[in-house]
Structure 1
């Protein structure tokens, strides 16, 4: 029996998201091994899994610091009593007030967030001052991703301006270098070090001004192996927990294994070379070009088109398939795929044993 085969598959309707619990545990252990067991260096991003039970497994593994992108993810972490949560998404508008509400509701969790401009800092200061609360901040740096963040050369001025504001304090720097995805690890390390050199210069400048050490949070799954060797950096991989086809192909040096799949069934035989499954746009992330999913038990099946409820695939011989056949798929991108499902089926010993709610796919839990 293959590792992914589910004995009681007839009890699982499709499409479905399935999580192999033992493989999740293995990926957590592999992560810890890459920092030589120094779990204090780890700050995993939970945007991939969005599941309280999965995050609890990381807590059980000794990981106490986490990163997230939404208020719901932050609340999910607080609900399981995660000690340290960084919201790495600059809160503007109502999000700032929701963050203050989280700080008020969950005092056992130490929250922080990021800023990249003085206007956002002033608004956070106002919101938290009105509530008589306090929040720690990280300066979000643009080291080449060109999505958010202030360029390091301008960040000292921002630091000095924020020092004058009440109810907030800058305690660190945040740098996400998602643009660095070189398959060759040597080239990837070169590009990471080049971008990160500006972060180190900035950190030294600010520490000289403040006389206090800064915490640096950097990287994601592609650059994690490089930062794992930098003991002064908190590393933030996210996809490692489930892994996916995209990273398996582009980052072959990373040891993580597939731990989450999508289950689909053949619903129609179109012609001698074409089959249709029930894995539509609503069931697997559709932002990538075809193929968006690869089938472990039918590697010859090549997806060619997709609509809301259907995925059409070309096969060498459609007579080898019949309606109702189950295909086990690895998404090219697992993170947005997980967000498409309300619940995940948990697999242990090749058997579906329970369901976990993908609680943080919701925009709001209670706050």
Structure 2
């Protein structure tokens, strides 16, 4: 029997997201081994899994710090009393008010947010000072991705201004270098260290002013192995917990295994070389070009078109397939795929045993 085969597959409607619990455990164990067991250096990003039970598995493994991208993800973590939660998304408009409400509602969790400009810092300062509260903040740095963040060369002035604001405490620096995806490990290391050198210079300048050590949070799944060898960085990979085709083949040096798949059924045999499954845009992340999914038990099936509820694939010989056959697919990108499902089916010892709600796919849980 293949590792992914589900004995009671007839009990699972398709399309479905399935999570192999033993493999999630293994990926968490591998993550800890890569930082030599020093879990204080881990701050996993939960945007991949969005599931309370998966985050609880990480907490059971001794991980106490987390990163998230949405208020719902932050609340999900607070609901299980995660001790330390960073919202790595600058809170603007109602998000800031919702974050302040979380701080008040969940005192067992220490929240923080990222900031990359003085206007947001001043808004947060006023909001938290009026509540006679305080928020830890990290300066968000642009280390080459050109998505958010301030250039490290210009961040000292921002720190000096934020350092004086009531209601805020600047505790460190945050940098995400998601643009670095070299398959060659040595090239990936060179590109990572080139950008990170500017962060270290900035950290030294900030520490000279504040007289306090600055916590540095850096990287994601592609650059995690490089930061894992440093003792001065909190690492924040996220995809590791489920892994996907894109990282498995783009980062072959990383040891993680697939722990989440999508299952689909053949619903039509169109002609001698064409089959159709029920894996549409609504069931697997569609932002990548074809193929967006690879089938473990039908590697010869080549996806060629897709609509909301259908995926059409070309095969050498369609007579080898029949309507109702189950295909087990590895998404090229697992993170947005997870967000397409309300629930995930949990597999243990090749048997579907329960379901976990993908609770943080919602934009709002309670707050």
User: Could you say which TM-score interval applies, normalised by the shorter chain?
Assistant: over 0.9
Tell me the equivalent position of 1:25.
25
Tell me the equivalent position of 2:68.
68
Separation of aligned partners in 1, 2:194 and 2:247: 22
How far the C-alpha of 1:13 sits from its partner, in A, is: 0.1
Deviations for 1:184-207, whole angstroms, at most 9, x for unmatched residues? 001100000000000000000010
Tell me the equivalent position of 2:266.
266
Q: 4+ runs of 1 displaced by more than 4 Å?
A: none
Aligned partner of residue 294 in structure 1, secondary structure: strand
Deviations for 1:287-322, whole angstroms, at most 9, x for unmatched residues? 000000000000000000000000000000000001
Tell me the equivalent position of 2:225.
225
Separation of aligned partners in 2, 1:225 and 1:115: 26
Deviates more, 1:95-104 or 1:124-133: 124-133
Separation of aligned partners in 2, 1:302 and 1:234: 40
Q: Map 1:134-213 onto structure 2 (within 5 A).
A: 134-213=134-213
Tell me the equivalent position of 1:239.
239
Deviations for 1:326-366, whole angstroms, at most 9, x for unmatched residues? 00000000000000000000000000000000000000000
Tell me the equivalent position of 2:123.
123
Aligned partner of residue 6 in structure 2, secondary structure: coil
Tell me the equivalent position of 2:276.
276
Deviations for 1:115-159, whole angstroms, at most 9, x for unmatched residues? 000000001111112222110000000010000000001000000
Aligned partner of residue 199 in structure 2, secondary structure: helix
TM-score normalised to the size of structure 1?
Answer: 1.00
Separation of aligned partners in 2, 1:216 and 1:97: 26
Deviations for 1:49-83, whole angstroms, at most 9, x for unmatched residues? 00000000000000000000000000000001100
Aligned partner of residue 366 in structure 2, secondary structure: coil
How far the C-alpha of 1:233 sits from its partner, in A, is: 0.1
Tell me the equivalent position of 1:13.
13
Q: How many residues align?
A: 367
Separation of aligned partners in 1, 2:130 and 2:93: 15
Separation of aligned partners in 2, 1:63 and 1:163: 29
- Gap regions ≥5 residues in structure 1: none
Separation of aligned partners in 2, 1:220 and 1:163: 27
How far the C-alpha of 1:224 sits from its partner, in A, is: 0.1
Separation of aligned partners in 2, 1:313 and 1:127: 53
Tell me the equivalent position of 1:51.
51
How far the C-alpha of 1:253 sits from its partner, in A, is: 0.1
